[in-house]
């Protein structure tokens, strides 16, 4: 089974669109360090780009933290994106394709979900949103 | 970071050099739109070989550039999308419907040469007319 | 294996500090008996035909004997931490590598235990209870070693299986270049997301390497096409298009075509042609080749 995420990297502040580029570069470096294939690390970097953009668009600012698991048989990365924005009222709706309350295409969350192995979201209206993505070196998602 | 734009015959070539921010992309759209719209410019090739991520925003801008340029009477070819990037895009649900694509700059120039000066009616056909040799 | 996992396993088999203390007391005996016990152990082992194959020459035998003696003494030296575990895992992996069956490996322990039991009986004459306790501690430790060995065996097996899966997957989707800038991708078997990703990645790399303009994907060998499979196919076609190539799909059987329509999957973006031959001809036409039919049904190509 998967080993725990034992290595925490310094959280990255997401405050402007420049930080979106930094966030995906950082996750790309981390994934490369764990031996991810070019395909897998691009999928993950793209997902991070989407959730970082979501932070900017809906909350204005937030953080993205990476946690690595590299002691087990299948190394992995956990990405935690947090903001103290307005929160999402209807998560199910937000995860539907094409849903958007603002100017983006609404690809953000449902798109990011399709690119990773595990996807979790918690949100409280008025408090903020936390999105967790996990991806393993050998993808565990079959269907 | 401003994207350099070169003129090659009747085409403009925009070579993206580094990862672009949203502002950079919007600026590119404005410059390309301003540079087209004359008889001297029939189309634009945007070389994205160096980009290792094309997320929904970037794809949307590329699509918008293509639409804007079509209204200005010019053709758009996106060249050099990397295999991993293409895979991530389709997994994300992002296509470039209606936008011409090419393997790289060389392929784009070949496609331009093959089509000659004829412009396809919808400005989107990737292929020469099937009847050409039959 | 982490420090935490190890201490958990120790708890499961109820291996305590008391056991460690008892085993340490055995240390002088272990040193004394290592030589004769191991010698007898191998005499017994080599009396079996099937075992002899694993020790082909004198040098190998001397080497494993020396290692076994070290192990025998090591069992009573305390300090059963990570270093100990790593050594055990290594031994398991080595045995797997030489194809020693795990049943043989475990069976060896039986002889070991018998040997040790009779020596203990002699050494602790008149103190049966104490001998029994010590023996129990030793059995616990040996049990841990067995668990570790099985772990190492199965880990190596898993790795082998994974490598084979990888190899099979690659073999199962050959991308064939049949003409300049024309590739054929025959897909055989079921397609799930994992395989779809792998097929697409492989196709895209081939497109780039061959500078392909047209790809014919033949799915005659795909037994079932459900909504997911159809979507994967559409994604593969889209991805190829993003690299400037065009895809022709062939080999949709009558059943599959009907299923797709009934499922309501939109395949309008696919360019489909009945069979592979038709697909290749269409591809050649797109590439500007002219098919010229000669007398007697022969045909040849002329570059356009």
The mean per-residue pLDDT over the stretch A123-128 comes to 91
Nearest to A123 by CA among A56, A66, A58, A68: A58
Chain C contacts in chain A segment 21-50 (CB below 8 A):
39
Comparing A84-88, A131-135, B48-52, B75-79, the range with the smallest average pLDDT is: A84-88
The mean per-residue pLDDT over the stretch A115-140 comes to 91
Residue B123 has pLDDT above 50, yes or no: no
The verdict on residue B103 lying in a domain is yes
The verdict on residue B30 lying in a domain is yes
Alpha-carbon distance B84 to A43, whole Å? 8
Q: Which domain holds residue B76?
A: 5-117
Supply the mean pLDDT for chain C.
86
- Which residues fall within 8 angstroms of residue C159, CB to CB, at 6 or more apart? none
Answer yes or no: do B55 and A49 touch at CB < 8 A.
yes
**Given CB atoms, is B64 within the 8 Å cutoff of chain C?**
no
pLDDT of residue C295: 65
Residue C128 has pLDDT above 70, yes or no: yes
Own/partner contacts of C171-175, CB < 8 Å, gap of 24 or more, are: C173/C198, C173/C199, C173/C202, C175/C202, C175/C203, C175/C206
Residue C78 has pLDDT above 50, yes or no: yes
The distance of Cα B103 from the centroid of its chain, to the nearest Å, equals 11
The verdict on residue B10 lying in a domain is yes
CATH of the domain at B97: 3.30.750.24
The verdict on residue B109 lying in a domain is yes
pLDDT of residue C69: 87
pTM of the model: 0.69
Residue B127 has pLDDT above 70, yes or no: no
Can you tell me whether residue A23 is helix, strand or coil?
helix
pLDDT of residue A2: 56
Report which of residues A140 and C270 the model is more confident about: C270
Per-residue pLDDT of B101-112, as tens digits, reads: 999 999 999 999
B103: nearest CB among C243, C289, C304:
C243
Per-residue pLDDT of A57-86, as tens digits, reads: 889 999 999 999 887 778 999 999 999 988
Band (pLDDT 50/70/90 cuts) for residue C185 is very high
Q: Which of C128-132, C245-249, C252-256 has the highest mean pLDDT?
A: C245-249
Answer yes or no: do C200 and B87 touch at CB < 8 A.
yes
Minimum CA–CA partner of B130 in chain C: C286
Per-residue pLDDT of A80-98, as tens digits, reads: 999 998 888 888 888 876 5
Alpha-carbon distance C87 to C83, whole Å? 6
The verdict on residue B17 lying in a domain is yes
Band (pLDDT 50/70/90 cuts) for residue B40 is confident
pLDDT of residue B130: 38
**Given CB atoms, is B21 within the 8 Å cutoff of chain A?**
yes
The verdict on residue B133 lying in a domain is no
The C-alpha of C295 sits at a distance from chain A's nearest C-alpha, in angstroms, of 50
Supply the mean pLDDT for chain A.
85
Residue C297 has pLDDT above 80, yes or no: no
The C-alpha of B122 sits at a distance from chain A's nearest C-alpha, in angstroms, of 24
Structurally, how many domains does chain B consist of? 1
| Predicted ipTM of the assembly | 0.83
Answer yes or no: do C192 and A143 touch at CB < 8 A.
yes
How are strands ordered across the β-sheet holding C271-273?
C176-179, C182-188, C214-221, C246-250, C271-273
The verdict on residue B25 lying in a domain is yes
**Given CB atoms, is A1 within the 8 Å cutoff of chain C?**
no
Minimum CA–CA partner of B22 in chain A: A17
Question: Exposed, middle or buried by CB within 10 Å (0-12, 13-18, 19+), for B2?
Answer: exposed
Determine contact, residues B74/A101, Cβ cutoff 8 Å.
no
**Given CB atoms, is A3 within the 8 Å cutoff of chain C?**
yes
Band (pLDDT 50/70/90 cuts) for residue C236 is very high
Report which of residues C86 and B15 the model is more confident about: B15
Per-residue pLDDT of C160-183, as tens digits, reads: 888 887 777 666 678 999 999 999
Interface residue of C1, C2, C161, C199 to substitute, partner A, most A CBs within 10 Å: C2
pLDDT cut 70: percent of chain C above it: 94
Per-residue pLDDT of C204-220, as tens digits, reads: 999 999 999 999 999 99
Residue A1 has pLDDT above 50, yes or no: no
All domains of chain C in start order, with CATH: 3-168 (1.10.490.10), 176-303 (3.30.750.24)
pLDDT of residue A120: 93
The verdict on residue B15 lying in a domain is yes
């Amino acid at each position: 089974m998967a080993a725990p995420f034992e290595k925490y990297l310094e959280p990255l502040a997401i405050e402007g669109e420049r930080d979106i580029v930094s966030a995906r570069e950082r996750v790309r470096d981390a994934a490369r360090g764990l031996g991810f294939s070019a395909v897998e690390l691009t999928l993950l970097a793209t997902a991070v780009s989407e959730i970082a953009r979501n932070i900017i668009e809906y909350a204005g600012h937030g953080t993205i933290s990476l946690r690595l698991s590299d002691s087990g048989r299948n190394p992995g990365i956990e990405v935690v994106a947090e903001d103290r924005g307005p929160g999402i009222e209807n998560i199910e709706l937000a995860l539907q394709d094409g849903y958007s309350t603002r100017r983006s295409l609404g690809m953000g969350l449902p798109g990011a979900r399709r690119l990773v192995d595990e996807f979790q979201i918690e949100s409280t209206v008025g408090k903020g949103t936390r999105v967790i993505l996990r991806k393993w070196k050998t993808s565990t998602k079959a269907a | 970071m401003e994207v350099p734009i070169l003129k090659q015959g009747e085409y403009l070539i925009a070579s993206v050099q580094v990862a672009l921010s949203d502002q950079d992309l919007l600026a590119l759209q404005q410059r390309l739109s301003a540079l087209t719209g004359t008889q001297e410019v029939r189309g634009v090739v945007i070389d994205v070989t160096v980009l290792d991520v094309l997320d929904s925003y970037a794809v949307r801008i590329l699509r918008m550039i293509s639409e804007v340029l079509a209204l200005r009477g010019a053709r758009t070819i996106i060249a050099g999308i990397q295999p991993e990037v293409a895979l991530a895009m389709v997994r994300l649900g992002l296509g470039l419907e209606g936008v011409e694509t090419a393997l790289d700059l060389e392929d784009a120039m070949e496609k331009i040469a093959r089509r000659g000066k004829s412009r396809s009616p919808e400005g989107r056909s990737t292929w020469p007319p099937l009847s050409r040799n039959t | 294996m982490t420090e935490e996992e190890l201490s958990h396993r120790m708890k499961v088999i109820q291996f305590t500090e008391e056991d460690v203390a008892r085993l340490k007391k055995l240390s002088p005996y272990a040193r004394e008996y290592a030589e004769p016990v191991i010698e007898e152990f191998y005499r017994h082992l080599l009396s079996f035909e099937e075992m002899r194959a694993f020790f082909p020459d004198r040098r190998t035998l001397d080497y494993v004997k020396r290692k076994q003696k070290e192990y025998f003494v090591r069992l009573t030296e305390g300090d059963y931490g990570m270093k100990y575990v790593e050594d055990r895992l290594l031994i398991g992996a080595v045995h797997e590598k030489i194809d020693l069956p795990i049943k043989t490996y475990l069976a060896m322990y039986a002889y070991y235990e018998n040997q040790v039991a009779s020596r203990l009986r002699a050494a602790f004459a008149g103190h049966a209870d104490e001998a029994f306790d010590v023996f129990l501690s030793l059995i616990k430790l040996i049990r841990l070693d067995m668990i570790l060995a099985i772990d190492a065996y199965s880990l190596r097996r898993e790795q082998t299986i994974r490598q084979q899966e990888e190899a099979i997957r690659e073999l199962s989707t050959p991308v064939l270049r049949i003409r300049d800038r024309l590739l054929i991708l025959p897909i055989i078997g079921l397609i799930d997301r994992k395989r779809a990703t792998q097929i697409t990645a492989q196709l895209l790399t081939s497109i780039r390497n061959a500078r392909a303009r047209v790809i014919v994907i033949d799915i005659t060998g795909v037994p079932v096409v459900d909504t997911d499979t159809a979507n994967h196919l559409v994604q593969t076609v889209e991805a190829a298009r993003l690299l400037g190539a065009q895809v022709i799909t062939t080999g949709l059987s009558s059943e599959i075509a009907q299923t797709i329509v009934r499922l309501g999957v939109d395949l309008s973006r696919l360019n489909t042609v009945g069979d592979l031959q038709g697909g290749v001809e269409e591809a050649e036409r797109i590439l500007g080749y002219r098919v010229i039919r000669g007398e007697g049904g022969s045909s040849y190509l002329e570059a356009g």
